[in-house]
Structure 1
């Protein structure tokens, strides 16, 4: 039986809809694909009847749907194009409007309305078949215009949840644009309004005519070169801030401030960018406090009219529409109480992560190796070797080179393997002793951690690891843990999501020959970019095994 059996999905379910259904049924039955405009009289009649519906829900939805059909059948081309791809509140732009009627219907452009100013321009122009109407207008962006950034990013969210204060926006795929033009059209005596978003259009020698959203952005973009800067000791580091002018003659003062225990110099820089699109990077020196400390800092660009704290980010790929984000510029500074043994680390990159850059931030010398160059003798100069996430899934060379890694461990080295997936493994056995990968994972980033072996060197040397080191983790604890393993492996941690059984496979450690082998499904690759201090301290202990 049909799941919709007994449910009326026709126009008769709506009061006053029976006649509309009959008209549209006739349009569908007799539609002439060679002359779509022949259906206009009946479509216009249905449109007028829809305006009389008492059910506001269906009236709103069906009005927009039938307007789209009428526009298509009339071959009605309506466009509002800005002479600039973006502007700032208070700016003036030039709008180029165009209207074409590609049918024999009697079509008149009565007026246009520039929104959100609700500025009406009377036109009263007949649109003959296939004759182009064009006109340009000055258009001022309101001073209170909101930036055209995704609405779900406008406010700071909570764990796993965006914050959207306006319930009418929830569920919309994009932020509704307020910069629009309404074309008030008369078709065969029926008045219909068509609202069009203002767009930006340009021609490319290869791809031809291209359309992009017209964006409202701040007049200046300020952004940090890094997301996180770590301080493993008292040495100073430099912060780089890029200032980009989104309009001509951008002048102001760039300021950077922090709590008193963090020393920043200089306190400000004068900025003068005469040309739109130009940018300059400023450097500030930061000295951290003596004790472990984490802060977020925001730059501020001060002008005579207003202060700005946002960065403009453009996402532009050929296969998706260009998108512009306006987000608060912020940088995490973390002074980490961390000790480490060994200096030189070899890294074998897998599917992609920023672990090498993160380890360099805490003072390691990291060499990213090509798998083809791996051999035990060449690796002997390194204090530890790390394989990247899913390295054994994506590097075919490891099928032949893994025995060299095991020989390196046997000769006294330390090898840390990050998570892999069971499907598509390039080797029969990843570690020196067998273990079986599974789909076990802990998705709750704040899941409780228990220490199976509190005396393990991994929890004590050179950094004393406590449960506080697992505070502030992001997205998850770990993934694709082994669920069975050889007795030569020691387990250190136990964890689980709520109402699930404890898992002990997140961290396996084995003594092999003179060295140590570590397999971990803990998501260090997520914690490092977020500047989670405890993850660095624990990883430093893994790299320090045997030293």
Structure 2
């Protein structure tokens, strides 16, 4: 369990340490602790006497059964983990424009926020969510079956679960190919983890492990599914609606709060009360008929010499007095040497839990605060260490160490901590000159396929990057010494939010930020690009130059810069001239500072429900010289869930105006050549739906309206049955769930003479080459005869889908519905996507 301050692992002990579990359920802003107290101590004492463990395996963030996780972690005090095969990089983002790797960073933190609530630990493999797949074979081929299987085996061997639970069946009824693959990998890893001849390179760090049984959490989303599950043999029923009086909530209530952390996916969930039946069916190992842990020893009796330990801990729990938690400390100190003497992984983990429980019972506050949240290599960070004994028992602060990947800093301070009297010590950390930047560990190396490149075997599976710097506090209770660890962070007060904390990060002295990931040149004309140099050190000075592929020219070639203040930024403009012919390449911006070349950007992902995440992308951008003609240039854009299409249209030379609710309702829309609605805009924006008649009048009077994809209504993965899409077009049009997940799927021209295919750019099959992730999603399933379907495509072996692009004249104007994935293809710089979208923008009416 956690202490009054968040618990973090030592940097050098086993890296797959538990994620911090918070007890409170009214989740405050990131980084803040919930009110806890006696219930937290009571549960911590109970958990000390429980040695069972369970690991759940599924494919993505949001696939986990949060109620089951809460039941086992909070209700049964089992060590509970969730292994998500991917970090969810391939999904859509409902809270911002981040996609791909950046979306994976957001969803990682959302999973950690969820685990703080339901009490489980979080793990990942190296696999990347490459988007919706209808085939397990495609999924495993893209990931590399053996590579990801080895990761699942690694996590099992580290975690050593007694029980493994699969969320999917490993059959086509799972739908998503990645869902199927997660179960297939889980089934194989269940046996492979125990085989000493499989993945022998791991045995340098871990031992083979055989879990007792493998269970499938049978779907029971509907009454029919629940009835079928309840009749299956060798099933175990778990009522996650059971009320826990210590927590003050049922596990389904906890699950609702936990699941609602998946905000980027729009997964807000109700806090359900009353019975909730979950069914677990044995698929490997001895059948379980009563409990998932049938015939599994979950007490100290499973450890040699553990009988006395269990007896003392049971007494500590039984005699615990909430108003006087310090009275439990003597029993905990009595049992500590017995556990410390045991050579067993379970005992070592329980020793860490015991030490944190001692701190809880003693009301001990330990903190390590840096004087800033960002430090550059070669600088010095001033740190204040603080200890407060908020009890009447004798406690001494015996010393401290600052632990980093470089040299440690040690200090001694042997003195007693008087009741509720803060003791503070000043320390300093000299950041090594070669200290790596605080990039998420899985993004440190570039990846080209569908798995991350991670060099250190021990890092695989970790949910997050270990803290840059950890403070170790030497504490003595009645002359018994223990070591407690806390991350060094930055603490500050926001006038509107109150006290906040941020992780300490190491950043470059200057960051080189390019404006766009892709720079499109629709003609041979030169284009101005501004490179932003951000200083993280006062007085940063150097020279910035651009590396360009052959045939491309920059004017000037380089520029000197000096930024006087830390945090300041300077924009340096370059004129880039492309070759005459179509071409591709990459531009790299390099800053030379004090003899060191820096080619890293810096971006901060900040949302209120997760800690700020600092990312250091390479200072490179894709150069795309492609002939693209365009006539409609003045664009009104109705942003929906968030996408980067407006920036992409700016690459074509368009003047793009983001339309507010007031502008939609009151402004003169006739001043726009084209109005485009963004991803899921009709699902998200009530003001758009309310002003649909104004938009159709705009079309009728000669304007062009382009509608991108929206989520079909109804069903477990669709929107609400609320009529959001009832009037999405000028004539009847129904959005379905048809999608084409294979990005190379052939495209057939249904209307070769359509203006969308011939003017001003002549579209050919070549324009559908080089697409990424998918062709499109949520195609129209039915439409009025006024609409002309323009393109047909489909995944291999499936029926043709003709509802991806529909064209109609309405009055004097043009209406276009297009569910192709422009929100992915345009920011990725796919030339054909630009040419097709330019034709849509150029489809003019008669005004």
Taking structure 1 as the reference length, the TM-score comes to 0.89
**1:21 match:** 310
1:513-532 Cα deviation digits (max 9, x unpaired): 66543211112123222222
Alpha-carbon distance between aligned partners in 2 of 1:367 and 1:110, rounded to the nearest angstrom: 62
- Please report how far the alpha carbon of residue 482 of structure 1 lies from its aligned counterpart in structure 2 after TM superposition: 1.1
In structure 2, the residue matched to 1:167 is 457
CA distance in 2, matches of 1:436, 1:355: 24
CA distance in 2, matches of 1:374, 1:114: 60
Shift of 1:204: 4.4
> 8 Å contact 2:633–2:655 — kept in the other structure?
yes
Cα shift readout 1:296-342 (whole Å, capped 9, x = no counterpart) = 32211112342111122223444432332223222232222112344
Residue pair 1:437, 1:481 contacting (<8 A) in 2 also:
yes
Deviation at 1:108, TM superposition (A): 2.8
Would you say the 8 A contact 1:223–1:311 is kept in 2?
yes
Q: What is the alpha-carbon distance in structure 2 between the residues aligned to residue 289 and residue 302 of structure 1?
A: 28
Q: Which residue of 2 aligns with 1:111?
A: 399
Give SS of 1:328's match: coil
| Larger CA Rg, structure 1 vs 2 | 1
Structure 1 position 216, deviation (Å): 1.4
Deviation, 1:235, is 2.0
Aligned equivalent of 2:824, options 517, 526, 537: 526
Q: How much has 1:201 moved relative to structure 2?
A: 2.2
Deviation of residue 175 (structure 1)?
Answer: 0.7
Partner of 1:539: 837
Counterpart of 2:618 (choices 328, 339, 361) is 328
Structure 2 residue 517 is the aligned partner of structure 1 residue 224: no
Q: Which residue of 2 aligns with 1:66?
A: 354
1:6 paired residue number: 295
**What's the CA shift for 1:149?**
2.3
8 Å CA contact retained: 2:632, 2:844? no
Greater fraction helix: 2
Q: Distance in 2 between matches of 1:399 and 1:316?
A: 29
Question: How far off its partner does 1:284 sit?
Answer: 0.8
1:92 is displaced (CA, Å) by 1.7
- Work out whether 1:460 is the aligned partner of 2:758: yes
Q: Distance in 2 between matches of 1:362 and 1:158?
A: 28
Give the 3 Å change call, closer, same or farther, for CA 440–266 of structure 1 in structure 2.
Answer: same
Post-superposition shift, 1:264?
0.6
CA apart distance, 1:186: 2.4
Q: Give ranges in structure 2 of 5+ residues lacking alignment.
A: 1-289, 714-721
**Does residue 233 of the first structure (1) align with residue 523 of the second (2)?**
yes
Cα distance in 1 between the residues matched to 2:424 and 2:597: 39
Name the SS for the 1:22 alignment partner: helix
Would you say the 8 A contact 1:412–1:513 is kept in 2? yes
Residue 344 of structure 2 aligns with which residue? 55
CA separation in 2, counterparts of 1:345 and 1:18? 74
Aligned match for 2:738, one of 436, 440, 454:
440
TM-score by length of 2: 0.59
Q: What is the aligned length?
A: 543
* 2:557 paired residue among 258, 267, 290: 267
Inter-partner Cα distance in structure 2 for 1:432 and 1:440: 21
Q: Which deviates more from structure 2 when the two are superposed, residues 177-186 or residues 341-350?
A: 341-350
**Counterparts in 2 of 1:102 and 1:214: CA distance versus 1, 3 Å:** same
- Mapped pair 1:121 → 2:417: no
Moved more, 361-370 or 327-336: 361-370
Q: Is the 8 A contact 1:356 1:366 kept in 2?
A: yes
CA gap of 1:404–1:61, structure 2 versus 1, over 3 A, is same
* Pick aligned residue for 1:33 from 322, 344, 351: 322
Q: CA deviation at 1:389?
A: 3.4
Q: Report deviation, 1:535.
A: 0.9
1:414 deviation in Å?
A: 4.2
Does the CA-based 8 Å contact 1:393-1:425 persist in structure 2? no
Q: State the secondary structure of the residue aligned to 1:321.
A: strand
Residue 88 of structure 1, CA deviation = 1.7
1:136 counterpart SS class: strand
Structure 2 residue 331 is the aligned partner of structure 1 residue 42: yes
CA contact (8 A) 1:490 1:508 kept: yes
Distance 1:173 1:12 in 2: 31
Deviation per residue, 1:367-418 (Å, 9 max, x gap) = 556332588xx64x76544333344445556667545655665666544322
Structure 2 counterpart SS, 1:311: coil
Rounded to whole Å, the distance in 1 between the matches of 2:650 and 2:490 is: 43
Once the two structures are TM-superposed, the CA of residue 27 in structure 1 deviates from its matched residue by 1.0
Deviates more, 1:494-503 or 1:292-301: 494-503
**Deviation digits for residues 121-164 of structure 1, max 9, x if unmatched?**
23332334334322212321123322222212222234554333
Distance 1:161 1:500, change over 3 A: farther
What corresponds to 1:493 in structure 2? 791
Deviation at 1:170, TM superposition (A): 3.2
Question: 1:336-370 CA deviation, whole Å, 9 max, x = no partner?
Answer: 21123444445455454443443343134455563
Summarize the Cα distance change of 1:345–1:69 in structure 2 as closer, same or farther, 3 Å threshold: closer
**Superposition RMSD on alpha carbons, in Å?**
2.9
Q: What is the aligned counterpart of 1:371 among 624, 646, 664?
A: 664
Assess, with a 3 A threshold, how the Cα gap between structure 1 residues 448 and 40 changes in structure 2: closer, same or farther. farther
Instruction: Give the 3 Å change call, closer, same or farther, for CA 435–282 of structure 1 in structure 2.
Output: same
Q: Distance in 2 between matches of 1:542 and 1:13?
A: 69
Aligned counterpart, 1:295: 585
Matched, 1:142 2:435: no
Q: Per the alignment, do residues 289 and 120 of structure 1 end up closer, same or farther by CA in structure 2, a change over 3 Å counting?
A: same
The C-alpha deviation readout for 1:202-238, integer Å capped at 9, x for no partner, is 3445544432212111111111233333221222211
* SS class of match (1:135): strand
More strand by share: 1
Task: Kindly indicate whether residue 85 of structure 2 is the aligned counterpart of residue 85 of structure 1.
Answer: no
Deviation at 1:190, TM superposition (A): 1.9
Distance 1:256 1:496, change over 3 A: same
2: CA distance between counterparts of 1:148 and 1:344?
41
